[in-house]
Amino acid sequence: MLLQRTAALALCNWSKAYAKNVVYDHYFKTAPFAVFFDLLEDKGQAAEFCNKGTRIMNHDQKNQETRDRFYVTTPIYYVTARPHLGSLYSTLLADVLARWNKLGGKQVFFLTGTDEHGQKIAQAAEKVGQQPKAFVDSFIEAYHHMWDRYELSYNHFIRTTDSYHVKAVQAWLSSLLDKGDIYKSFYKGWYCTPCETFLTDKDALVEQAGQIPACPSCSRPTQIVEEETYFFKLSNYASRLLTFYQENPDFIQPKERMHEVINFVASGLKDLSISRTTITWGIPFPGDAKHVTYVWADALNNYITAVGYGQPDRKQEFESWWPADVQVLGKDIVRFHAVYWPAFLMASGLPLPKRLLVHGWIRMDKQKMSKSLGNVVDPQELYDAYGAEPVRYYLMRQMAITHDSDFSIEDLEQRITSDLANDLGNLLNRTVALAHSHSIVELPVITVWSPKALDVRDECLNMLEDVEKYMNDCSIHLALARIWKFINTANAYFHAQEPWKLIKKDPEACLQVLSVTCHSLRAIATLLWPVMPHKMEALLASIGAPLHLGEHTRDNLKLATWNKGFMLHQIQPLFVKPESKQASAKPMTEEKKQVAHPEPVCDQNGIGIEDFLKVELVVGTVEQCEPVPNSSKLYALQVNFGERGMRQILAGFAPYHTCEALCNKQAVFLFNLKPRAMVGMQSQGMLLAAQDAHGVPHPVMAPVPVPNGTRLR
Ligand code: MSP
């Protein structure tokens, strides 16, 4: 310890001599001691650190600050009800990106909030006989509560009724009026209130004689609007926008959305109506009391007003955060963000956001989940039933960001069982449990690794590189899939090394296997921290490698020398397998609430004996067992069922038991299960098993030797 501290001080002085400037002073005064120790783990890295310091000094301070900052936003939500899974999804994407950047040592500002003005809100409030402000106020607590439950680490929650926002939007309008970018005229056309959209010729409205056209986006009836209005000169910006798209091909992700936007702009832009006289619930237009600001002109500006735009005392703050690095939004609001918003910013002489991350919809029964369709899933019920982090994982893993994805309770439970409890949970449990059962608490630093261990390390380094690439590309689902590929590698290694045998014949080799899994777990848990922060902190604590957020957190993992010692202690299993809660994914119903709080009732209408007799449970002897190629989990068992014949049955026992342990055992099988193919091989039944507290399955054995083929009754 003393040595480490001395080394840290020496390094500090060395760095100061090199870097001779405040940034280093600042770094060393503010960084936690643990960071020094991490830095000291590798001399090459320490040198790199100092070189970096020298390089940093060559840049001007402001650039440095900007480069080390990450500003991420979510759309602001219409507050007509409590948040649903769709709103959680947008916010969660931003949270994971925010945390990922914190893990890279950046200062992060994560903004979310609510969109509280406009016709849609006014109508919803009127429907329940409330004033709009009282109506929106009634939902805000629910947002904060839900976002806190789901561990969303936002820095600020903006409400468009906040007075600083109102004043800043008015200042923005005044400046554009002064510049001549806004003028007064008359608007006549179709308007969709649920989408708060003025529809244009390009929206291909089908106007049939005497019929009201439906909105092309939400399919609901539109209404005709005829009123005096202020227009924003959008048409002036078409060519500048096209040039911008051309010069910034990564502005919109995924790229296909960029093509849609370019086509929309290239076919010509009309000036945009940005005020209403037929409603009163909105920001009063400066200098013209008859008008209120169109809700999108008000709402889009939240991204700048929240960080200080239009507030003279926050000028520096604004300059340090804007432009946003990533703006997350759903595919239904691309036009507003990719066309109107950049044009507003151009008119104001402000830089444009660096990237728009456009996600698809979460669907229920093949339809967009939405409050107005009444098919929304209540995140509170999912939280009650499964906890925040398994749901966070499911949403980030299952939903391919750029596509629409179907929500299903079956998939959620499957992910929790197989990915979290079986794959990841067991990698930790089996490591710590084995150590614990042999009173191993401390794993020493290993200096000479076996070739197999080096293979795992190389695979770990490959994974780190791939994950970095995917995350920087905002492809969170791909990053998670890549991490799981490595979890399977680590599980397969552990299993193949049979450390439970090595502990007796070669204890050093056993320690090496445990150290490999701990190094792997350290990398895995650090990378998974943005998605499951509390669980991963618990995992890291249980191997004695607590997380320190800092500039080098991710870089340290990339050190080719696996040079850590670990302190192991057992913890409760991180993930609990859900009993089947699939009764209903139909949300907000009493039925669903019962799923969240199951009563321990005895079902008087249980199955009759005739139903039980349909299930054939039969005893058989495992005569052969072989790992299935291309699967880290499956064994192919050849099972002797006496007069009923031989059968091949695939069983997912490879991560837990050796073939030897299963061979010549008489176990119980589900005999009349429909045959099915797995990884190209047929399985003709199922080996029954009971899982212990750590999720390790143990085959159900015949109580005494019985003839093969005996049926259980
Ligand atoms: N208030 C506007 C946004 C203004 S931003 C300056 C709005 N609000 S919204 O509440 O209708 O939608 C907000 C975000 O939630 C959108 O990005 C939308 O795509 C997203 N989602 C709403 N339902 C969704 C799903 N079913 N699935 C995924 N996201 C969805 O639009």
Question: Is 150 part of a structural domain of the chain?
Answer: yes
Residue with CA at minimum distance from ligand 1 atom 5: 75
Residue with CA at minimum distance from ligand 1 atom 19: 330
Ligand 1 pocket, mutate which of 93, 146, 361, 377 (most atoms under 8 A from CB) = 361
Same domain, 44 and 79: no
Give the β-pairing of 275-276 and 272-273: unpaired
- At 665, which CATH number? 2.40.50.140
Which residues, at least 6 apart from 612, have a Cβ–Cβ distance to it below 8 Å? none
Tokens 């409050």 label which residue?
Answer: 371
Count how many residues are written for the chain.
713
Same domain, 90 and 203: yes
Q: Which domain holds residue 56?
A: 2-67
Ligand 1 pocket, mutate which of 73, 77, 114 (most atoms under 8 A from CB) = 77
Q: What is the CA(378)–ligand 1 centre distance, in A?
A: 15
pLDDT along the chain (713 residues), means of 10: 36 34 30 33 33 32 62 96 94 98 95 97 95 97 97 98 98 97 91 84 60 78 88 98 97 92 95 95 96 97 98 97 98 96 98 97 83 82 96 95 89 95 94 94 96 97 96 94 96 95 95 97 97 97 92 80 92 85 39 29 62 89 87 88 82 90 94 83 89 84 90 91
- Please identify, among 339, 357, 375, the residue that sits at the C-terminal boundary of a domain: 357
Question: Is 506 part of a structural domain of the chain?
Answer: yes
Ligand 1 pocket, mutate which of 283, 329, 337 (most atoms under 8 A from CB) = 329
First to last CA, the chain: 64
Tens of pLDDT along 500-533?
Answer: 999 999 999 999 999 999 999 999 999 999 999 9
Question: Is 288 part of a structural domain of the chain?
Answer: yes
Give SS3 for 159.
strand
- Please identify, by atom number, the ligand 1 atom nearest to the C-alpha of residue 332: 19
Same domain, 234 and 168: yes
- At 427, which CATH number? 1.10.730.10
Q: What is the CA(92)–ligand 1 centre distance, in A?
A: 13
- Give, in order, the Cα–Cα distances in Å from 28 to each of 21, 38, 65, 440: 12, 13, 16, 36
- Please state the domain count of the chain: 4
Nearest Cα to Cα of residue 477 among 392, 577, 537: 392
CB–CB of 72/324 below 8 Å? yes
Sign of CA dihedral 251, 255, 256, 259: positive
Give the β-pairing of 676-678 and 681-683: antiparallel
Same domain, 101 and 249: yes
Question: Is 380 part of a structural domain of the chain?
Answer: no
Same domain, 662 and 545: no
Same domain, 22 and 88: no
332: Cα separation from own chain's centroid? 20
d(CA 99, CA 297): 30
Residue with CA at minimum distance from ligand 1 atom 26: 369
- Please identify, by atom number, the ligand 1 atom nearest to the C-alpha of residue 77: 10
Q: What is the CA(330)–ligand 1 centre distance, in A?
A: 6
Residue with CA at minimum distance from ligand 1 atom 18: 330
Same domain, 58 and 108: no
Give SS3 for 224.
strand
The first and second tokens of residue 401, run together, are 């960001």
- Give, in order, the Cα–Cα distances in Å from 528 to each of 96, 166, 565, 644: 10, 39, 21, 48
Q: What is the CA(395)–ligand 1 centre distance, in A?
A: 16
Ligand 1 pocket, mutate which of 78, 404, 407 (most atoms under 8 A from CB) = 78
1 burial level (CB within 10 Å; 0-12, 13-18, 19+):
exposed
Residue with CA at minimum distance from ligand 1 atom 13: 77
d(CA 544, CA 425): 17
Same domain, 294 and 217: yes
Q: What is the CA(408)–ligand 1 centre distance, in A?
A: 20
Q: What is the CA(427)–ligand 1 centre distance, in A?
A: 38
Question: Is 148 part of a structural domain of the chain?
Answer: yes
- Please identify, among 322, 357, 392, the residue that sits at the C-terminal boundary of a domain: 357
CB–CB of 187/225 below 8 Å? yes
What confidence score (pLDDT) does residue 210 get? Answer: 62
What confidence score (pLDDT) does residue 203 get? Answer: 65
- Please identify, by atom number, the ligand 1 atom nearest to the C-alpha of residue 302: 6
Same domain, 225 and 129: yes
The first and second tokens of residue 31, run together, are 């960084």
Tokens 């939280």 label which residue?
Answer: 383
Question: Is 304 part of a structural domain of the chain?
Answer: yes
532: Cα separation from own chain's centroid? 9
Amino acid at 498: E
Same domain, 547 and 624: no
Ligand 1 pocket, mutate which of 72, 89, 326 (most atoms under 8 A from CB) = 89
Which of left, alpha, beta for 381 (phi over 0: left; psi -120 to 50: alpha)?
alpha
Question: Is 51 part of a structural domain of the chain?
Answer: yes
Q: What is the CA(143)–ligand 1 centre distance, in A?
A: 14
Q: What is the CA(90)–ligand 1 centre distance, in A?
A: 8
Residue with CA at minimum distance from ligand 1 atom 16: 330
Residues with CB under 6 A from ligand 1: 75-78, 86-87, 89-90, 115, 299-300, 302, 329-330, 332-333, 361-362, 368-370
Question: Is 576 part of a structural domain of the chain?
Answer: no
Q: What is the CA(707)–ligand 1 centre distance, in A?
A: 63
Phi then psi dihedrals of residue 363, to 5 deg? -110, 155
Residue with CA at minimum distance from ligand 1 atom 9: 77
Residue with CA at minimum distance from ligand 1 atom 7: 77
Same domain, 244 and 301: yes
Same domain, 338 and 486: no
- Please identify, among 307, 328, 357, the residue that sits at the C-terminal boundary of a domain: 357
